[in-house]
Structure 1
Amino acid sequence: MTDLYKQRPFVWSLFAAFALISLYMLGVRTLVPPDEGRYAEMAREMFTSGDWITTRLNGIKYFEKPPLQTWMNALSFAVFGLGDWQARLWTGLCGIGGVLFTAYTAGRVFNQRIGLYAGLVLGSSFYWIACSQIDSLDMGLSGMMTIVLCALLLAQRDGASALENRRSMLLCWAAMALSVLSKGLIGLMLPGGILVAYTIVTLQWRLWTRLHLVKGLLLFLVVAAPWFIAVAVNNPEQPAFFFIHEHWDRFFKTEHHREQVWYVFFVLTAVGMVPWLGMLAHSLLLGARRAPGVAAHAFRPRLMLLVWAVFIILFFTKSNSKLPGYILPVFPALAMLVALQLDAGSRAVRVAGAALMALVGVALLATVPFMPGMAGRAGELALYQAYQPWVLAAGVVAVVAGVLAIVSVRTLAQTGRDLFVVLLAVAGFATTNLMMAGFEPIGRARAGADLLPAIQAELTADTTLYSVGTYEQSMTFYLRRTVTLVDYTDEFSFGLQQQPQLAIPKVEEFVARWRSDAAAGRRNLAFIREDIYAALLAQGVPMRLVARDARRIVVSNR
C-alpha cells in the first residue's frame, strides 16, 4: 500500500475537512465572558465608531493590549456582520494557518512525512484546537509567533539559498512586528531571548550574520511603529501605561492577581498535548540530540525547536502573572518534535502513546457520573447534565481510537505508522470538538444569553443602561450598546482616570439619578450585583425585576 503522506488527494481532503469543521465550530457557541465578550465588544465599538487608533471597551479608553486582533475582528464585522463566528474568525484562521505553516515548514526542513505528521499533531492537540475556537489574544499571538518560528527555520536550514534566507528572515521580522501588535513587546522579547539561548548552547555566533538585522529592524519598525506613534499622539497617557504597567509590572509584580503555582505551565503543556502526551518526553530528548551526520557548526533545527519550547515555558514560569494561554506558542515547536519522534521512534513508544490516549478516554468516562457535582450555582445542575452525553461521546472516541491505534501499530508495517498518526489525530480533533460543542449550555448561562429577549423587550433608543457593582462582558456586545458603570472600576481603572465622567463612582449618586428619571418618566435599566440589589430593596428604591438568573439581576425603574 502506498504511504499515506504521498497520496496528495488524501492529504488535501484531510486538511479541507479539518479547515471546514474548524470554521463551522466557530459559530456553535455563545461568546463566553470575560475574554470573548471583551474582545468582541472592543471590535464592535471600533467598527461602529470608525476610530481605528484608540481602542475602547464600553466606550472607555482601554490600552491593556495592542490593536491587531481588534482590527481583524472589526474587519470581520465590516465584511460579514456582527455575530459569534465573526468574532472568532481571526483566531480560527490563525489556528488553521498555524497548522498549515507548521506542516509546510516541517516538510521543507525535514521531509514530507514529518511535515504531514507535524500538521496532524498540531491540528489535533487539545490546547491548540480549543484555543483556536476562543476569541482571545493568545491564538492571535501564537499564529504570528508560528510564522516567526517557521520562517526562522526555513531561513537558517542547511541548503537554503541566499535569496531564500533573505526572504524568510524578512518574513520572520514582519511576523515579529505583527506579534508585537498582537500582544506587546513579548512578540520581540521571546524570539530574541530564544536566539540568545540557542547561540549560548551551540556557540553558533555566525547565525547572527544571517538574520539581516538592519533590513529586518527597518521592516519591523515600518510594520509595528505607526500605530504606537499614532496612539501616543492621540493619547499621551498611553505609552507609560502600556510599556510600564502592562509589561514590567505584569511580569514582576502581583497586583494583577494572576499568580499560580510555579509548575502550572508544565501541567498545562502536558494536558494541551493530548493525544500526543505519551510521545512528549521522548520527543524532547530527541530534540536535544544531534541528528546523525550533522556537523558541529551546522544549524540544528531540532535543538532550535527544543530551545523555543523550553525557553517560553521557563520564561512564563518566572513571571508573577500566569494565565493559561501564555504558553500556547510552544505547541507548533512541540508538534514538530513529536512528528520527528513519530517518524523515528519505536513501535513500543507509539503503543504507549496510544494506550495513554485510551486512558484519557477512560478518565473522561469516569468523570461523567460526577459532572452534576460540578454545578456551583443554583440552576446549573441541568446544564452539567446536558454536558454529560458530550463528554461521554468524547471518552468513547478516545478509547476506541486508542485501541485501534494500538492495533494499527501491531498489525501493519510502514503504512501502519501513517495510519496510527491519522487515527490519533482524528481522535484528538473529534474529542476536543465534542467537548467544546457540548459546553454551549454552560457558556450560554455564563453569558446570560437566555435573558436577552426580556432585556431587549424593555430597551428603547433613549433607555439608559447601568451596570451597578458589576460589568457583564458579553452583554454589551449582544445588546449592541455600552453601559454606564456604577461603583465599578477593575480593568477600567486607568481609562476612568482619564475619563471619569463616563462612570458613576458611588451607588448613592446612581440612586438619585434612578429616582429622578423614574419620576420624570425616563426609562432606566440596570444590571445589578445581588448584594447591592438587596440593599436597595431594603431602602425602598423603586425597582421592577426584568430578568434574573444565577449570575445576574436586571431591573427597571418603571
Structure 2
Amino acid sequence: MQKTKLILCFSRYWFVAIILVLSFVGIFDHDLWTADEPRVAEIGREFFDEGVSLAVPQLNGEAFMEKPPLYFWCVALSYKIFGAPSASAARIPSVLFGLGTLIFTYLLAGKMYDRKTAEWSCMVLALSAEFFYIHHKSLVDTSLVFFVTGTVYWLYLSLTADTEKKDRYYRLCYIFATGAFFAKGFIGLAFPVLLFACWILWRRDWQEIRRARLRVGLIIVGSCISLWFWFLWKEGSWEYISTFLIHNNFQRIIPGVGSEYSGGHVKPFYFYLFKFWRAFAPWSILVPAVFFYACRKGFQDKNRLFLCLWFVSGLLMLSLAGTKRTIYIVPLIPAISILTGSWLNDVESRLINGRFARVSQWFILCVCGVLVLALAGVVFKSALYKTVPFVLLMPVVTIGYVFAFRSFVNNRVIKLCGLPVIISLIYILSVLVFVPYINKTNSFRPFCGRLGEIVAAKESTLYAFQPEETTRAVVPFYTGRKLIPVYDLEAAKSLPRENNVLMLVLDKHKDMRNFNSLKTLFPDVILSEVVGKRRNFKLLSN
C-alpha cells in the first residue's frame, strides 16, 4: 500500500522537480550579457541612488521612459533581499515570473481539460526555446508574459463562470491587466482586450459586454495608470509622459507610425511567420498536426476556440505592429502550448491515431536524436568533453534517448515521461557546459574591473564617446561610476585640457572609425580590450 502511494506521488509530481531544475539552471553561473540584461540590471540598481524617484526609471543618471517601472522595481527588491546588486539577483524576478506563468498555464489547461493535459502543457511551455531563453535572462518581457497569462486565465473563468461569480473573476482580470500595463505598457492591455473582443464577435454574445462591467475595469486600470502619469508629470512635466506614450508606445505599435520610430526592430509583416518556428522549437514541428486536428474537430468546443483566438488574434496584432522582435511573440506561447499539450495527451491516450500524427511524432523524435548528436559534436569541437557536466550527463541523455525511442517504437506514442525528460536533459546539459565557456568571452566584468581601477587611480572623470545603451549600463553597474556622454567631435574638443581626460570609446566596425576620429585629441591608449565578437573598447587619454 505504501509503495503504491509512493508511485502515485512520483507519477503526479515528478515534472515539478524537472521544471524547478530547468528554471534555476544557468541563473548563477555567468555575468550580464547583451543586449537587454545590462540595461535592466543597471536601471534596477539606480533606484538606490540618492534622489531617484521610484516613478522614473533611470539609466546612467538619465530618465529611461521606454518601459514602466514594475520589473525594475522587482530587480531592485531582489538586490535588497540578496544584499547587493549582482547578475544572479537581477535574474531572480525572471525565474519567479516564469514559474508563475507555468502555474497559470497549468491551471488554465486543467480547467479546460484535465490534469494530464495540464502537465503536458506545462512541459511544452517550459521547454519552448524562446520561453526558456527569457526565463533565464533579466528581461522585462517575463513580467509581461506572466501578467498577460494571468489576465487571460481570469478572463477565461469570467467568460465561462456562472453569473454570480463573474464579478469577482472580472475584477481579478482587471487587476492583472493593470500589472500587464506596468510590465511593458499598452501592449500588455492589447492582448486580453483583443481576445475579449474576438470572443464576443465570434460568439455574438453581446450581453457579455454588460456582464463584464467594463466601467469597473476602466476605473481599476485607468486610476493606476493615471496615478503613475501624475508622478511622471510631477518629476519631469509633459516630457516624460510624451516620451513614454508617443515614442515608446504609439510609434512602436501603430502601423505606419512605426516608420518614424528611431529605436530599431522595424520588420516586415511576415516576420513572425518565420520566427515563430524557432521561438516554439522543438514543439513547432508538431504545430501543423495540432492545427490540422483543431480545424478538423471544428471550433464548437469553447476551449479550442478560446486558445485559437488568443494565439491568432495576438499573432495578427504583432504582425501589424510597427516594430517586431522574436521575444514579442512569447505572450502567445502559453496558448499554443496548451493546444499542443492537449494534442499530445490525446495522442498518448490513443484518441488520435492517424498517419499525420505518427509522422509528426517520428519527426520530432528524430530531430531530438540529431540534437543529441550535434550537441556531442559541438562539445568535442570546443574541447569541452572533459567538463564534469558533460561526463556525467551525456551518458544519461544518450541512454534516455535510446529508451524513449524504443518506447515509441513499441507503443507508437510519445509518453509524458519520455521525450520531455530527454529534451529537459539536453537543455540542462547545454546550459551547464556552454554557458561558463561563453561567459569567458561575453562577460563585461573583467574589462569593467580594470577600467574601474584605472579611473580610481587617476581620480579622473570618465567620459564616453557616443556610448550605446549597453555601455551606459555595464560600466556604472560594474564600476559604480557613471559615464559622461560626449556625442560629437566638437564636444570632445571643448573638454578641459588642463587635467588628464579619460575617454572611453567603443568600436563595432573594422575600420575603427570612432577611435580614428579621436586619436589626435587623445593619443594615449591606456586600455584596449575586445568583449564578445565585435565590441572593441579603448580607454584613451590626452
Question: Normalised by the shorter chain, which TM-score bucket?
Answer: 0.7 to 0.9
CA separation in 2, counterparts of 1:399 and 1:144?
A: 38
For residues 339-398 of structure 1, the C-alpha deviation after alignment (integer angstroms, 9 at most, x for no partner) is 1111223355266335324325426745987999xxxxxxxxxxx936899999999988
| Match in the other structure for 1:219 | 220
Q: Is the 8 A contact 1:357 1:399 kept in 2?
A: no
> 1:39 Cα deviation (Å)?
0.9
3-state SS of 1:44 partner: helix
| Match in the other structure for 1:111 | 114
CA separation in 2, counterparts of 1:275 and 1:389?
A: 28
Q: Is the 8 A contact 2:506 2:535 kept in 1?
A: no
For residues 218-241 of structure 1, the C-alpha deviation after alignment (integer angstroms, 9 at most, x for no partner) is 222344432222112322212222
Residue 409 of structure 2 corresponds to residue 431 of structure 1 = no
TM-score, normalisation: structure 1? 0.82
Q: Which moved more, 1:207-216 or 1:76-85?
A: 207-216
| Match in the other structure for 1:474 | 474
3-state SS of 2:417 partner: helix
Residue 385 of structure 2 corresponds to residue 385 of structure 1 = no
Residue 482 of structure 2 corresponds to residue 453 of structure 1 = no
| Match in the other structure for 1:491 | none
**1:51-450 residue pairs with structure 2 within 5 A?**
51-80=53-82, 81-157=84-160, 160-162=161-163, 164-236=165-237, 237-251=239-253, 252=255, 253-254=258-259, 255-256=261-262, 257-288=264-295, 300-345=302-347, 346-347=352-353, 349=357, 352-362=360-370, 365=373, 385=382, 404-412=403-411, 420-437=415-432, 438-450=434-446
CA separation in 2, counterparts of 1:351 and 1:551?
A: 45
Unpaired segments ≥5 residues, structure 1? 373-383, 488-505
Unpaired segments ≥5 residues, structure 2? none
> 1:5 Cα deviation (Å)?
13
> 1:335 Cα deviation (Å)?
1.1
Could you say if the C-alpha distance between residues 516 and 447 of structure 1 is closer, same or farther in structure 2, counting changes exceeding 3 Å?
farther
3-state SS of 1:541 partner: coil
3-state SS of 1:47 partner: coil
CA separation in 2, counterparts of 1:6 and 1:330?
A: 35
> 1:38 Cα deviation (Å)?
0.8
| Match in the other structure for 2:538 | 554
How many residues get paired?
Answer: 513
3-state SS of 1:552 partner: strand
CA separation in 1, counterparts of 2:493 and 2:522?
A: 7
Q: Is the 8 A contact 2:117 2:341 kept in 1?
A: yes
3-state SS of 2:47 partner: helix
CA separation in 1, counterparts of 2:4 and 2:312?
A: 33
For residues 534-556 of structure 1, the C-alpha deviation after alignment (integer angstroms, 9 at most, x for no partner) is 3333x263423223225222325
Q: Is the 8 A contact 1:124 1:426 kept in 2?
A: no
Residue 536 of structure 2 corresponds to residue 541 of structure 1 = no
Identical aligned residues as a percent = 21
> 1:37 Cα deviation (Å)?
0.7
**1:524-539 residue pairs with structure 2 within 5 A?**
524=502, 526-529=504-507, 530-537=512-519, 539=520
Q: Is the 8 A contact 2:79 2:85 kept in 1?
A: yes
TM-score, normalisation: structure 2? 0.84
CA separation in 2, counterparts of 1:339 and 1:422?
A: 13
> 1:289 Cα deviation (Å)?
5.9
Could you say if the C-alpha distance between residues 333 and 400 of structure 1 is closer, same or farther in structure 2, counting changes exceeding 3 Å?
farther
> 1:35 Cα deviation (Å)?
0.7
Q: Which moved more, 1:231-240 or 1:325-334?
A: 231-240
CA separation in 2, counterparts of 1:275 and 1:392?
A: 22
CA separation in 1, counterparts of 2:14 and 2:379?
A: 37
CA separation in 1, counterparts of 2:221 and 2:395?
A: 48
| Match in the other structure for 1:517 | 499
For residues 312-362 of structure 1, the C-alpha deviation after alignment (integer angstroms, 9 at most, x for no partner) is 111111223111111000111111111111122335526633532432542
> Which amino acid in structure 2 is aligned with residue 454 of structure 1?
R
> 1:434 Cα deviation (Å)?
3.8
Q: Is the 8 A contact 2:506 2:537 kept in 1?
A: yes
> Which amino acid in structure 1 is aligned with residue 123 of structure 2?
L
CA separation in 1, counterparts of 2:142 and 2:6?
A: 28
Q: Is the 8 A contact 1:360 1:399 kept in 2?
A: no
CA separation in 2, counterparts of 1:250 and 1:262?
A: 14
Could you say if the C-alpha distance between residues 84 and 536 of structure 1 is closer, same or farther in structure 2, counting changes exceeding 3 Å?
same
For residues 188-224 of structure 1, the C-alpha deviation after alignment (integer angstroms, 9 at most, x for no partner) is 1221112222222232333334423233332223444
> Which amino acid in structure 1 is aligned with residue 32 of structure 2?
L
3-state SS of 1:32 partner: coil
CA separation in 2, counterparts of 1:6 and 1:116?
A: 17
> Which amino acid in structure 1 is aligned with residue 305 of structure 2?
L
CA separation in 2, counterparts of 1:5 and 1:486?
A: 66
> Which amino acid in structure 1 is aligned with residue 524 of structure 2?
M
| Match in the other structure for 2:484 | 484
For residues 1-20 of structure 1, the C-alpha deviation after alignment (integer angstroms, 9 at most, x for no partner) is x9999934443343134224
> 1:164 Cα deviation (Å)?
4.1
Could you say if the C-alpha distance between residues 536 and 187 of structure 1 is closer, same or farther in structure 2, counting changes exceeding 3 Å?
closer
CA separation in 1, counterparts of 2:440 and 2:513?
A: 23
3-state SS of 1:526 partner: strand
> 1:469 Cα deviation (Å)?
2.7
> RMSD of the TM alignment (CA)?
3.5
